Structure 1
Amino acid sequence: MNTPRPGPLSRFTILDASRVRAGPTAVRTFADLGARVIKLEIPPGAPGGDDMIGGRDHNRADYENLHRNKESLTLNMKEAEGREILHALVQRADVFIENYRPDVKHRLGIGPDALRAINPRLVYASISGFGQDGPAMGWPGFDSIAQGMGGLMSVTGRPGEGPMRAGIPIADLCAGHFCAQAIMAALLEREATGAGQWVQTSLLEAQIAMLDFQAAQWLVDGKVPQSTGNEHPLTVPTGVFATSDGHINIAAIGQTMWKRLCEALDVPHLVTEPGFGSDPERVHNRDRVNAAVGERFRQHSTAWWTDRLLGAGVPCGPIHTVDRVFADAQVRHLGIAQTMQHPELGGIEVVGLPMQFSRHPRAQTRLDAAPLQGAHTESILQELGYAPDRIAQLRERFVV
């Protein structure tokens, strides 16, 4: 077993039967906050295989990104003896999380009713592609499909160029984060009632929730949002402008910011230009506004304009490639890139949790590399009372 890791959630034990990205994203939150996480993997040689993102090449960046700070137990839950081991773990656990297709857990006999009958305090968490029931419940859940069905692709990209997928698996990631929130809420509620419960989310629901004001435009105002590229659909000028050496992002929202921008650009006459007098007017005359301010931005560098606009109180910033993100002085100051020791690669950097705790400083958090498959099988089974010869027998039959 891993040496216990300090953190605000160190009293909790999580059983992780999830795969791919959404589930591991939820579980990573608990692992990084000190919870004991036992990752359940299909034993080598057992039918079924494992299709986790990152595969079994433990040098791959994404495997370390998703599965750090965990223990690994190989367990064939299709076998009765495998389920016996699972039941023993469930008796000691606080959370069980899975992201199988909705019917799989019931066919395996490891659904919420079955496991909560063993431990009524268990919080059982499920992530699906499209929900646990309904006409699309059986559809395979993939991030890009949820992005399309959830409306994001219709409002992403440049006007007239058709639907565009976001550059990150945002439906997967948000489903994972919403699931983690639901689990924590259920654990808090359990402190009052003593009972666990089944919490659920899906890629589709998470993606729709992330539409935010775009959803409100339709639900409240009856307007179908359209793609506007780098610009904001409701305020102008807000977006990306070319400079003499690159690009700059600005957000001149509302009249106050518009006036400050015009003064910083040395074009104060634009404040009273016909058709530029309010956000709705500027939206209507978007191309004229952008051409007027864009001409000024091309005359100086991004750094020059960033200093000038920030000095004038106009929100702005450079547009970094990923390498420059981690070279940025503010990013280095925040310390979100943390060093983790890898048994083969030595010290590598990973992105830590984007939150700070005064009594659990991020800089003092110990990060453990993602485990080799089944690295903790023997120690976990011994913890449950299994003798070495019994463990050997289970290995021979691919139960573990």
Structure 2
Amino acid sequence: MTRSKASALSNLRILDLTRVRAGPTCCRIFADFGADVIKIEAPPGVDPNEGMSGARNGSDMLNLHRNKRSLTLNLKTPEGLAIFKQLVATADVVVENYRPDVKHRLGIAYDDLKAINPRIILASISGFGETGPYRTRAGFDQIAQGMGGLMWVTGLPGQGPVRAGIAVADSSAGLFAAIGILVALQERARSGEGQWVRSSLLQAQIAMMDFQAARYLVDGIVPQQAGNDHPYSTPMGVVRTADGFINIAVGGQGQWKAFCTAIGHAEMQDHPDYATQELRLKNRPALNARLAEIFATRSSAEWLDALEQAGVPAGPIYKMDEVFADPQVEHLGMAVPVSDEEGGRVRLVGQPVELSRTPAAIDHLLPEPGADNEDILREIGLDDAKIAMLRRERVI
């Protein structure tokens, strides 16, 4: 299996011990920018939780694990652990999202890896942190969404807590871990030493709460559900049109005046109930009711055109098929076609960051388990006879 044609991180080797979402999200960034990411997984039939990430050729696995090589390795055997440690000696980064105690039981905690390779960076992604009273709890995205405060500000007022429609905690924990690894790599260029990078779903979710968390910490305000309305700026949210829904975002007095003119009601600019942001927020129910009457008279396309001409931020609310049919999304190349080994093509989600000289690339799909065993093991000096023995004993 060839590596990605991207070159930005082609000098790096990443050992990927992760599964589900947070860890694979982290490693995918490195793979897309050209790092040699080796996905290490148990040989078929060894792991009692095999398949917990879904079908191997399913959309989620293909999207999370593209551009990687696959090595099957039973870390619970002495031979498998020895091979892993040989790989550590050649690697820059190890990424794992086991429960915190597992790596210590396996003998692959940071101090163990550092003894082999002082330059190694270990990135650990847990549910609740490597230390503390919840360290051994199993962490899942929705649990972190609840504990991190997201579910209490999501949904309509009085509806009760609502989960976000995506895995916010998982994905952001993976992104924060990748940032931590890049920082550690930069520091290593000066010091020559690796270090232990740690992130968790709970920490990531709290960080993603950002201004809502700061409202409590700084102002003592406990945010509540606001539905589709912005917590403190209005009109900013969803309005129903004659044939659907759109988002509007009126952020200041200049935009408010332009907005009133664009919707054909310039008299609202100086209305005693709406003339300032404070008044609009205070009288939001009445303002929303008035806007509902106005926006119901024309189609979404007509309103979007009128607001764009006035310089007022607004946008459609798409289903996923509409997202990828949008001309701006097509222009940005967010759906990347990739060929499989049989010559078929699938589209995967592109990287959302562009580099002018060394961009990301998506060249190949997730290989079958162990597809790269021989190549990887030969790279660390094992001969054909040794590889055959390891296969017979189900080490690989």
Pairwise TM-score range, normalised by the shorter structure:
over 0.9
| 1:80 CA displacement | 1.2
| 1:361 CA displacement | 4.3
- Aligned residue for 1:399? 395
| 1:49 CA displacement | 4.3
Equivalent position SS for 1:130: coil
Amino acid at match of 2:44: P
Residue 45 of structure 1 pairs with residue 48 of structure 2:
no
Equivalent position SS for 1:103: helix
The count of corresponding residues between Structure 1 and Structure 2 is 396
Mapped partners of 2:343, 2:297: distance in 1: 46
- Aligned residue for 2:67? 69
Equivalent position SS for 2:136: coil
- Aligned residue for 2:203? 205
Q: How does 1:106-255 map to 2 (within 5 A)?
A: 106-255=104-253
CA-to-aligned-CA distance 1:301-342 (integer Å, 9 cap, x gap): 111111110111110011111001000000011111111011
Maintained 8 Å contact 1:102/1:137 = yes
Report the CA distance shift for 1:61/1:326 in structure 2 as closer, same or farther (over 3 A).
same
CA-to-aligned-CA distance 1:355-386 (integer Å, 9 cap, x gap): 11111345xx3421111111111211111111
- Aligned residue for 1:292? 290
Amino acid at match of 2:372: H
Amino acid at match of 2:377: L
Report the CA distance shift for 1:177/1:386 in structure 2 as closer, same or farther (over 3 A).
same
- Aligned residue for 2:372? 376
2:98 maps to which of 95, 100, 103: 100
Equivalent position SS for 2:337: strand
TM-score, length basis structure 2: 0.97
CA-to-aligned-CA distance 1:257-289 (integer Å, 9 cap, x gap): 111111111111212222212222211211111
Residue 35 of structure 1 pairs with residue 5 of structure 2:
no
Mapped partners of 2:70, 2:120: distance in 1: 20
Maintained 8 Å contact 1:20/1:51 = no
CA-to-aligned-CA distance 1:97-145 (integer Å, 9 cap, x gap): 0000000000010101101110010110000000001111111110000
Maintained 8 Å contact 2:68/2:366 = yes
**Structure 1, 203-212 or 77-86: larger mean CA deviation:** 77-86
Report the CA distance shift for 1:237/1:321 in structure 2 as closer, same or farther (over 3 A).
same
- Aligned residue for 1:15? 15
- Aligned residue for 2:324? 326
Amino acid at match of 2:267: H
Report the CA distance shift for 1:3/1:144 in structure 2 as closer, same or farther (over 3 A).
closer
**Structure 1, 365-374 or 122-131: larger mean CA deviation:** 365-374
2:382 maps to which of 381, 386, 389: 386
Mapped partners of 1:216, 1:343: distance in 2: 49
Q: What do you get for the CA RMSD once the two structures are aligned?
A: 1.3
Mapped partners of 1:142, 1:325: distance in 2: 28
- Aligned residue for 2:313? 315
Maintained 8 Å contact 2:234/2:277 = yes
Maintained 8 Å contact 1:247/1:318 = yes
1:352 maps to which of 311, 336, 350: 350
Mapped partners of 1:310, 1:6: distance in 2: 37
Maintained 8 Å contact 1:5/1:35 = no
Mapped partners of 2:60, 2:345: distance in 1: 16
Maintained 8 Å contact 2:66/2:362 = no
Mapped partners of 1:383, 1:235: distance in 2: 58
Mapped partners of 2:2, 2:341: distance in 1: 14
Mapped partners of 1:28, 1:105: distance in 2: 22
Equivalent position SS for 1:73: strand
Amino acid at match of 2:365: A
Where does the alignment leave 5 or more consecutive residues of structure 2 unmatched? none
Equivalent position SS for 2:124: strand
Runs of 4+ more than 4 Å apart: none
Equivalent position SS for 1:317: strand
CA-to-aligned-CA distance 1:223-280 (integer Å, 9 cap, x gap): 1000111110101110010111111100001212111111111111212222212222
CA-to-aligned-CA distance 1:41-80 (integer Å, 9 cap, x gap): 0012325443451343x2x111101110000101111111
Mapped partners of 2:317, 2:47: distance in 1: 47
Report the CA distance shift for 1:272/1:266 in structure 2 as closer, same or farther (over 3 A).
same
TM-score, length basis structure 1: 0.96
CA-to-aligned-CA distance 1:186-205 (integer Å, 9 cap, x gap): 00010011101000000000
